[in-house]
């Protein structure tokens, strides 16, 4: 079973990630992990904190040089923006602050925001880069792209940059929509025989686990609801690569809606929970939009879920054991799929 955990606070000493159940014999160059972390960190829409963080990391277990050994992999990312959590009894609306304060019985919103912060996603990307590499070596190509920003239903680099600049100047933030796709997935990953084995459900959990994601769809998604069965049957790609909770050999397409960053640079009306007096919740959040970074995080989160599903289907403790099984399965199922 492939599983992973992260730990660490946004402005704490380290972010830590542990990946367990990952096969031996997978070469994951340090430069590859660094490149993935860079994609997340340098995504458009980011604020001043990203100029400070370099996401320098260390791998302290589970690798022989640049190749995995099968033992748990530990990644440590040292934060450059380190600081004691401080104290604030004023929750920022739209963030985890209020619910987290109630839940953990604290008057200090800083204790909540330190862990709820999307800084944690750096650790997820570091671990996800192992999964992305495994997918790649098994012939599965995973990609992500932002398809909508704020009110712009489609974007290119120039229009996105202009919209981000406009929002930043106006003291506003933006949401957006991103897409994650996977090509080359063998058919039959996931399972229809139990609700929690459905790959769509597992991918939904991974996507909705990405900070700020509020909407999720597979293939035709919400638009499918308006189609007749006859119409839908003519476009099998609307299934988004999944039927009955299993991959069907087609391209996997997932879409997610990301909310605008709720912390506004100008502050938001709130209250001091100790006194009950009205107060302005000042946000240190300096990102104009999280959607570009979230797309990269989601790509890695999807890679982890797909790697888990591949390992469940094909088993094996090393890449040398797994790869021939995947190739053989592709040959066998490919012949049948060709007839359709
Ligand atoms: C975040 C707030 C900002 C972001 C941070 C996530 O940090 P700060 O409070 O220091 O301005 O930059 O994201 C990261 C540091 C990162 O590496 O993604 C938040 O509140 O979620």
Q: pLDDT tens-digit profile of 119-160? A: 999 999 999 999 999 999 999 999 999 999 999 989 999 999
Is the C-beta atom of 286 inside 6 A of ligand 1?
yes
Tokens 């000042």 — which residue? 282
Q: If you take atom 19 of ligand 1, which residue's CA is the nearest one?
A: 117
**Predicted pLDDT at 51:** 87
Q: Whose CA is nearest to atom 15 of ligand 1?
A: 119
Q: Which helix (H) or strand (E) holds 57?
A: strand 57-61
d(CA 47, CA 286): 5
Cα 285 to averaged position of ligand 1 atoms, centre (Å):
6
Domain residue spans of the chain: 3-337
What is the CA(161)–ligand 1 centre distance, in A? 20
pTM of the full structure = 0.97
Q: Which residue's CA is minimally distant from atom 10 of ligand 1?
A: 49
d(CA 80, CA 56): 9
Of all protein residues, the one whose alpha carbon is nearest to atom 11 of ligand 1 is 285
| Rounded distance between C-alpha atoms, residue 132 and residue 142, angstroms | 7
CB 37 less than 6 A from any atom of ligand 1: no
DSSP assignment of 267-325: -EEEE-TTT--EEEE------SBSHHHHHHHHHHHHHHHHHHHHHHHH--SBHHHHHHH
Q: Which two tokens stand for residue 336?
A: 């049948």
Q: Residue 179 is inside which H or E element, if any? A: strand 176-183
Which residue's C-alpha comes closest to atom 20 of ligand 1?
Answer: 117
Dihedral, CA of residue 134, residue 15, residue 205 and residue 173, to nearest 10 = -110
pLDDT at 305: 98
- Counting as low any pLDDT under 70, the low residues of the chain are 284-285
Distance from the alpha carbon of residue 300 to the mean position of ligand 1, in angstroms? 19
**Residue 265 in contact with ligand 1 by CB distance below 6 A:** no
In the prediction, which pLDDT does 265 show? Answer: 85
Q: Whose alpha carbon is nearest atom 6 of ligand 1?
A: 118
State whether the beta carbon of 42 lies less than 6 angstroms from ligand 1: no
User: 3-337, what's its fold?
Assistant: Chorismate synthase, AroC fold (3.60.150)
Pocket-testing residue among 8, 285, 288, ligand 1, by greatest number of atoms within 8 A of Cβ: 285
**333 in contact with ligand 1, CB cutoff 6 A:** no
For a pocket test of ligand 1, which of 96, 111, 116, 117 has the largest count of ligand atoms closer than 8 A to its C-beta? 117
């Amino acid at each position: 079973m492939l599983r992973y955990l992260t730990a660490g606070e946004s402005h704490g000493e380290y972010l830590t990630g542990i990946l367990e159940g990952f096969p031996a014999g997978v070469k994951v160059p340090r430069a590859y992990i660094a490149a993935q972390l860079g994609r997340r960190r340098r995504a458009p829409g980011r604020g001043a904190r990203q100029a400070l963080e370099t996401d320098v990391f260390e791998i302290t277990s589970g690798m022989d040089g640049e190749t995995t050994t099968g033992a748990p992999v530990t990644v440590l990312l040292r934060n450059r923006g380190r600081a004691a959590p401080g104290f604030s009894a004023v929750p920022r609306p739209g963030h985890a602050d209020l619910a987290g304060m109630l839940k953990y019985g604290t008057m200090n919103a800083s204790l909540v925001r330190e862990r709820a912060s999307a800084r944690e996603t750096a650790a997820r990307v570091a671990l996800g880069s192992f999964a992305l590499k495994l997918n790649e070596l098994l012939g599965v190509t995973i990609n992500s792209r932002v398809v909508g920003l704020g009110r712009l239903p489609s974007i290119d680099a120039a229009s996105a940059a202009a919209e981000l600049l406009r929002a930043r100047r106006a003291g506003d933030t933006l949401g957006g929509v991103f897409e994650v796709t996977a090509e080359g997935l063998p058919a039959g990953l996931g399972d229809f025989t139990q609700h929690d084995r459905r790959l769509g459900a597992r991918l939904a959990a991974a996507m909705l686990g990405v900070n700020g994601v509020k909407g999720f769809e597979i293939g035709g998604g919400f638009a499918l609801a308006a189609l007749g069965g006859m119409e839908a049957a003519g476009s099998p790609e609307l299934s988004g690569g999944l039927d009955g909770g299993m991959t069907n050999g087609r391209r996997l397409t997932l879409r997610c809606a990301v909310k605008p960053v709720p912390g506004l640079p100008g502050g938001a009306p709130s209250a001091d929970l100790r006194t009950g007096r009205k107060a302005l919740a000042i946000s240190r959040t300096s990102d104009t939009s999280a959607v570009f970074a979230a797309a990269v995080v989601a790509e890695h989160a999807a890679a982890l879920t797909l790697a888990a599903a591949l390992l469940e289907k094909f088993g094996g403790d090393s890449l040398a054991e797994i790869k021939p099984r995947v190739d053989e399965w592709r040959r066998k199922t490919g012949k049948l799929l060709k007839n359709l």
